[in-house]
Structure 1
């Protein structure tokens, strides 16, 4: 460090100083700390525990102080660290020249932003910054504590004027923090939900587009039983390669999560493996992206054996490249007879097991696929046509199935309320009968892994004699969503299938507007809830299935 032995002894003496438990700092410690900082021309910091003992003496440079590793960033959400940071910063010779529009406050001694970040990120009891100037009798200081909304800073013309009871203050502060955390989680606990989250939207597009995208993410959170406590939106010309939002913004979001009791941050985009690793290295919050959230919803909703297998396959394929890329310097040789070296690392074992699990599940799904084809072929032998209901998620497909067949299939005003396909018989006039099948809803940017995993289920659509495309009339993005469904049907090579379009929820919009929308789409207006418009819908389906029989 280039210090003289006398300077080293001067710093060592700071270790021996004690502070009374009720005091923030002692006058003797102020004197010794400021003298050391002023003579060295460098920032000197102390980490002091609640017993008043100095645990660390830290020497910085003229402008920065780097704290040692004091454990996890957030040891507990309801308790402070049990350490206070006291720093003495040498006074600079200030120039009097200033911009005319700036407010000059000579009586205030501003605390450095870095120390505010340390206070919140490390959950310190408090931060006290003192202006080290041995010639002046009084030492200006600023004291920062964690408050309701961010940080509270108090200014002192003389550090020796700080006279509040420190031990009582800390006890009251921790009780207040505990109360705030419990209040933040109260809604989630009452509703039996799965914690609180902050949503992060980083967009290169227009405000109208990102507002809709963020609202859809909020609906996904409702479906996942996650309470949204805040949203953060950032417009960028280019996404940050490592953290999407930039490291500084990410730190601010993590501090906001700390104050609002959020345990999770959810990005309205897909994170690459490197981005996920970089973000998780910077915070101990749970990090999810849009695809992870959708997969979580699917995992929660899957009921059948096929559905559970398909979700597990999609999760494994998505998580496999996102396993932490660590311990790459160790041997990659396989363990066992003939193997040399330390054998496989835990990471490599996890990857191999995941790949083996993927292969096993794919085999089981293929078996279920053959069984499904067998059932389908039996239906075709009996010459019973199949109508498959498709559409954007939450368009009212399950409600329509219930209304047409008098069934009680689960139907909720939530995204992905239906995951496992459901089949019911429907009798048409003139002694015709069909099998009506409800399928999983589509959504924009549906993960490719999920489409591939559910391909065995979605392939049932190929066997359908007619696709009934349900569109939500109340959806402002109904044209865009119809296009998304059409594109996904194209990916599945189903555009050649016969299709009928039903504009649902027409009872909730103006009649004239609803009919204009239906005409533009080439469909008919219905309301699955009030059961209106079914006659025209049945006529369209009948004409598509049995062209020779005209339904009247």
Structure 2
């Protein structure tokens, strides 16, 4: 089968550059290695006997393993001292990238111990998606004497290649003599192998059109196992809510995170292997990353990397429907992006004319920052206008002496379901995190004939990104200006106690103190009697309901009635006739 030998252009190495740990080699030895760049390499065979014997002789003489990488045109593109792992290409240097394609490079490496490919060699094969890894077991003969050196020859050859089966990862041939390997048809081997990968990739695309995600997270050694499981479970829910498909979860426990990549080198290599094996196209980190950490992870893994904050912002962007919701999400995204801008210095500079513009000019990075600053200032002005508009709406409600109860709680606690059940609001309900963003206010008639207003607000989450708190200040004011709060808790969630604490922490961090709270435990139809009994013991004043089934609504309405009466003394009296009907809000 004919093979497309066209290779995507990539940065060509210097023809005399030697990679890997080569300190201590003499200039003459380095020149001998450099000449390997100009030696002929077969196109339609794994390698030639002449090239293999020359590489084996050099490896024996230097008493160190050597690696040579060649492309499909028969050109040697890298010569290195050391193992394949020590001389490998970084993901951004590879000429071909993609889960359905091999890189278009093969590696010929020598080993002096005669043990065949090591685990590190096979890992380098997978990370670089090599066409093939050819291991030459070199037998050393002779002895070192003054003015002389060792010589060696190829004793046997191992061929390793990737397979599309994620369980097998790779296969290694039995040891073969050099003559047998040099006569094998490389084009036929490669054609069959790429056809297998192409079929596997097509099957994956048909199975799912969602982003294929790997999760990574870091925990201190002091973090309990239960806390880790709860946080990882929430991270999985966040990815699912964003439309992604979680393939595998990785986490690491250490005293301190790695300052450059968050996780250690060994765990990073494990994740990189899984990216290749499972065909992942996105890695999500459960911790907020610095710009340098995100960049280093992307270089090491070869796919896009986002952190938890960016993931939540993406979910908000997906859920925003109204103009004000989109406005606040864009502001939060720009505030997140601003400190993470990176540029290329003078390479992206622009020149101007006139006094003060000569020289390297203004870098593209500074230009981008100024554009974003202007956009942020414009959006903040619009959010201020939105705040003023909401303040006028609240003032109108206060003039009518209608008390307002805000529904608050952890995301996916069932606030929208409760609002719909009590008022018939018809807001979106979904078993997802952050299903609704825009606040919705509806009138609720109580058994006494009195009326209150219920306002559904955006759900909270632990460690809510500060950009969201700032951008959604107009929405969160619905919480701070409400007469009282109904704190809705999903009792069926194993982490419900942590959710209560997380919501309390966010409410305490708001610039204005909130009103009194009533705990409302939702989804009691999903929990055991023991869980409910424990919650009743811990929170004896709470109300227990099932918004989906309508359980406990009578007790909830009675509690709202009692609250309305207790709050009525705090409302300002109506102004007398002739004052325009305005309420004295002071």
Name the TM tier (shorter chain).
0.7 to 0.9
Task: Name 2:581's counterpart in structure 1.
Answer: none
Q: 1:363 to 1:14 in 2, by over 3 A?
A: closer
Structure 1 position 143, deviation (Å): 2.1
**Residue of structure 2 aligned with 1:426, choices 444, 450, 458:** 444
Q: Distance in 2 between matches of 1:56 and 1:512?
A: 67
Q: Distance in 1 between matches of 2:116 and 2:185?
A: 23
Please state whether the residue corresponding to 1:393 is helix, strand or coil. Answer: coil
Task: Name 1:19's counterpart in structure 2.
Answer: 42
Structure 1 position 337, deviation (Å): 5.6
Q: Distance in 2 between matches of 1:355 and 1:334?
A: 21
Q: Distance in 2 between matches of 1:416 and 1:69?
A: 38
Please state whether the residue corresponding to 1:156 is helix, strand or coil. Answer: coil
Task: Name 1:72's counterpart in structure 2.
Answer: 93
Q: 1:71 to 1:396 in 2, by over 3 A?
A: closer
Point out the more displaced range, 496-505 or 38-47.
38-47
Task: Name 1:103's counterpart in structure 2.
Answer: none
Please state whether the residue corresponding to 2:155 is helix, strand or coil. Answer: coil
Structure 1 position 350, deviation (Å): 1.1
Q: 1:66 to 1:335 in 2, by over 3 A?
A: farther
Matched residue pairs, number?
526
**Residue of structure 2 aligned with 1:177, choices 163, 180, 197:** 197
2:304 maps to 1:281: no
Task: Name 1:83's counterpart in structure 2.
Answer: 105
Please state whether the residue corresponding to 2:508 is helix, strand or coil. Answer: helix
Q: 1:337 to 1:425 in 2, by over 3 A?
A: farther
Q: Distance in 2 between matches of 1:316 and 1:133?
A: 61
Task: Name 2:544's counterpart in structure 1.
Answer: 525
Task: Name 1:48's counterpart in structure 2.
Answer: 70
**Residue of structure 2 aligned with 1:146, choices 158, 162, 169:** 162
Task: Name 1:125's counterpart in structure 2.
Answer: 131
- Contact kept, 8 Å, 2:36 with 2:79, in 1: the verdict is no
Question: Cα RMSD (Å) of the superposition?
Answer: 2.9
Structure 1 position 249, deviation (Å): 2.3
Task: Name 1:544's counterpart in structure 2.
Answer: 563
- Contact kept, 8 Å, 1:185 with 1:261, in 2: the verdict is no
Q: Distance in 1 between matches of 2:421 and 2:555?
A: 15
Please state whether the residue corresponding to 1:426 is helix, strand or coil. Answer: strand
Task: Name 2:9's counterpart in structure 1.
Answer: none
**Residue of structure 2 aligned with 1:409, choices 413, 421, 427:** 427
Task: Name 1:166's counterpart in structure 2.
Answer: 186
Structure 1 position 496, deviation (Å): 5.0
Structure 1 position 357, deviation (Å): 1.2
Structure 1 position 342, deviation (Å): 2.5
Q: Distance in 2 between matches of 1:152 and 1:336?
A: 66
Point out the more displaced range, 432-441 or 274-283.
274-283
Q: Distance in 2 between matches of 1:281 and 1:137?
A: 38
Please state whether the residue corresponding to 2:159 is helix, strand or coil. Answer: strand
- Contact kept, 8 Å, 2:218 with 2:251, in 1: the verdict is yes
Q: 1:14 to 1:300 in 2, by over 3 A?
A: closer
Task: Name 2:485's counterpart in structure 1.
Answer: 467
Give the 5 Å matches for 1:142-291.
Answer: 142-147=158-163, 148-149=165-166, 150-156=169-175, 158-162=177-181, 164-189=184-209, 193=210, 195-204=211-220, 205-291=223-309
Give the 5 Å matches for 1:72-111.
Answer: 72-73=93-94, 75-89=97-111, 91=112, 109-111=115-117
- Contact kept, 8 Å, 2:343 with 2:364, in 1: the verdict is no
Structure 1 position 175, deviation (Å): 1.6
Please state whether the residue corresponding to 2:494 is helix, strand or coil. Answer: coil
Structure 1 position 229, deviation (Å): 0.7
Structure 1 position 46, deviation (Å): 3.1
Structure 1 position 461, deviation (Å): 1.5
Please state whether the residue corresponding to 2:309 is helix, strand or coil. Answer: helix
Structure 1 position 10, deviation (Å): 8.9
Q: Distance in 2 between matches of 1:332 and 1:42?
A: 49
Task: Name 1:100's counterpart in structure 2.
Answer: none
Structure 1 position 418, deviation (Å): 1.1
Q: Distance in 1 between matches of 2:136 and 2:281?
A: 35
Q: Distance in 2 between matches of 1:159 and 1:441?
A: 66
Structure 1 position 72, deviation (Å): 3.3
- Contact kept, 8 Å, 1:85 with 1:124, in 2: the verdict is yes
Structure 1 position 503, deviation (Å): 1.0
Task: Name 2:5's counterpart in structure 1.
Answer: none
Q: Distance in 2 between matches of 1:168 and 1:299?
A: 48
Q: 1:56 to 1:261 in 2, by over 3 A?
A: closer
